[in-house]
Each structure stands twice: as structure tokens, then as C-alpha cells.
Amino acid sequence: MEIPLWEIVNVDYQTLVQNKIWKIMNDTNAQKILLVLICVSLFWKMIRYMCGLLRQEKEPVTVLVTGAAGQIGYALVAMIARGAMLGPNQPVILHMLDIEQAEEALKGVKMELMDAALPLLRGIVASTDVAEACKGVNIAVMLGGFPRKEGMERKDVMSKNVSIYKAQASALEKHAAADCKVLVVANPANTNALILKEFAPSIPDKNITCLTRLDHNRALAQIAERTQVHVSEVKNVIIWGNHSSTQYPDVNHATVQDKPVREAVSDNEWLNNEFISTVQQRGAAIIKARKLSSALSAASSACDHVRDWVLGTPKGSWVSMGVYSDGSYDIQPGLIYSFPVTCEKGEWTIVQGLEIDAFSRDKMDKTAQELIEEKELAKSCLN
């Protein structure tokens, strides 16, 4: 039987190609090239796999905001939902609590959050029930408190806040996540945090803090303005003590563009007097100017506080946080006192070994004394 010409040609071509491939495969350089191509292919697959892992969504963090219908709360919840508190890749579930009189306003805040269509926001609970609001929360930002009104005595205000924080602490104790971190903002912030600690004993001491980051940021801003640099170039100011007019803004260890602040400012009279009083009285100045208390800056500072606490402070820098005193710098243990701290892996540590001069010692002791008096007042209200 005669074989068609095209089949003969096809067979010869296939044989030729196979022989050529075999010859190439036996060539050392070709083998190396093939090996490199295989490695590149595997490496590319590994990169795609790793990128896929990075794209996997984190578990949402549940954040409680009390007093959420108020001025600070209105500013804060949007910042949290946009990632300003926990980072741009961390989904959140917001729990918002307020009093019954603010229930309609709270509903309005919830509607606005929904309408904003925020990608990180995975859920919203808006409630006037403290138990419902505290259920499963990982981070609690306590904005709600009773403000001092004209004609009220300090003890009257303290009595109101003792009642509020006793109830909220009990709810956190029963319903919050075991590792819940608490930031108290409502004044008197240090003592409110102390009350909360008393009635939520299962929450570790190191997980209850109060906000002095607002004062810290105010101090940074004043130094930046005075030296005409960007605020990011001012580092390591300290707020010692109470979040009140007795607080001590300390620049003795701070720098401007890596130069000591006292050298950069070159005006000790201003630093020891006007600078301190400006930071201490900044809240009152804002009320006088806008007829309302600080809201935007307080919300932003609360985000800064929690973000650095959870994600860590930059290397070589510290921040100010109201934390449970362990006796560092001869401050009475058991007070919630503002110290310089660094943060890493969700834990804060008081910066140790800073030199304290006589001027600073006096200021630090005076603000500590005010906190001791507030603690005694709170105890009398409890009794």
C-alpha cells in the first residue's frame, strides 16, 4: 500500500522536532534556562498566593462609643469607621450608647453612618441599653459623663459620674470581651477611669486608661507654632498628671528636628509660664471661642490614643496616656496618672529613667495631689 506523501513529511517533521528538543534538553545551558524558568514560575505562584493571603479580610473589631450622639461622639464614630483608629485595613463593628433622651439623635447618627457607605463598617448597634451596647466589645471609648453645670459643687458632679461609671463598668465586666481595652474621655477622666476600674475588676489594670493625648497634641502644636516647623517634627513632650488645669506639660525631654526644645525655642520664660498655661487652659479657650467644648480635636486624639496603643508607637518616640500608676517617678500607686509611655503589641510601658528637675517635681506633685483629693471625693460619694 502506498503511503501518502504528506504523512511521510509529517512523520519526518515530528522526528526532526523530537530530536531537536532532545538535543536541546541535553545541552547544559538549555537545562539551566529551563530550570530558571521553572523557578520563576514557582516564585510567581508563591507571590500570588501570598498576595491572596494579604487580601484576606481581618475579623472585625467591635468598638463601643458611649455618649455617641454628642458632639465628640458624632465626630468620633465616622473617624473610627474610616480607619483612623485601627488602620485602613481593619473592619469594625460600632456599638453606640447614649441616654434615652438622646435616642432619636442616636438613630440619626446611625442613619448617617449607613448613608456614608463606609467600606470598613461591618455593623452598627445603636442602643440606650448599656448591657446590649457592651456585649462583646473589644475597645470601649467612654465619652458619656455628667458635665459640671453652673452652680454645681464638685461633689455633686462627682456623685453623678460615680453613678454613671459604676453602671457602665458593671456592664463591661459582664458583657465585654475578656481582652477589652478601655479609654475614658469624659471628665473628670482620670477619676472616672479609676471608678470604672473599681467596678470592673476582671478587666486588667493595664487595659483601663484615660485621655491625655489631647493635651499632648496641644503641647506639640504650641511648640510647632512657636518654632515654625511642622508638628510632626516635634517629639516627646510629656503631659504629667491630671487631665485638668493642674496638668504639667513638660518639654525638658522633647525635641524639635532632633534639637532640644529649650534650645530650639530659646525662651525659658515662655516655656515655663505662657506655654504651660496655654496648654492647661486650651479647652476653656475653645469654649470661649466657639461656645462649645472641643469635639473634633478630642475625637482625633482619642483615635491617636487607641491607634498607638493597639498598633504601637514609632521607634524613638513616646506619647502621653493616663494609666494606672505603679509608683514610677514617686507618684502614688493606685492613681490614674498621665505618664510618658511607649506601646508595642497592644501593651503600654511607662518610660523610665527620665531626669526630673525641681521645677517639674513641684508641678508633678501638685497635679498628683489633686488626683488624690478626687479619689477621696469619689470614695465618699460611693459610701
Annotated binding residues, written as ranges, equal: 67-73, 98, 148, 154, 161, 185-187, 218
Binding residues for NAD(+): 67-73, 98, 161, 185-187
CB 263 within 8 Å of CB 227 = no
Length of the chain, in residues: 383
Q: Which residue has the cell 488602620?
A: 87
Give the span between the Cα atoms of 199 and 241, in whole angstroms.
23
Give the span between the Cα atoms of 145 and 191, in whole angstroms.
12
C-alpha cell belonging to residue 92? 469594625
DSSP code, position 329: G
Q: What's the distance, Cα to Cα, between the start and end of the chain in Å? A: 117
SS3 323: strand
Query: What DSSP string describes 361-381?
Result: HHHHHHHHHHHHHHHHHHHHH
What is the helix (H) or strand (E) element at residue 156, kind and residue range?
helix 154-175
Give the span between the Cα atoms of 310 and 346, in whole angstroms.
4
Pick from 136, 137, 115, 114: nearest CA to 124 = 114
Angle at 158 between CA 157 and CA 160, to 5 degrees: 65
Q: Which residue has the cell 453606640?
A: 96
Q: Which residue has the cell 498607638?
A: 308
CB 360 within 8 Å of CB 276 = no
What is the helix (H) or strand (E) element at residue 166, kind and residue range?
helix 154-175
* Cα separations in angstroms, 300 against 28, 85, 218, 313: 64, 9, 12, 16
Please report the sign of the dihedral spanned by the C-alpha atoms of residue 212, residue 127, residue 205, residue 379: positive
Catalytic residue numbers read 243
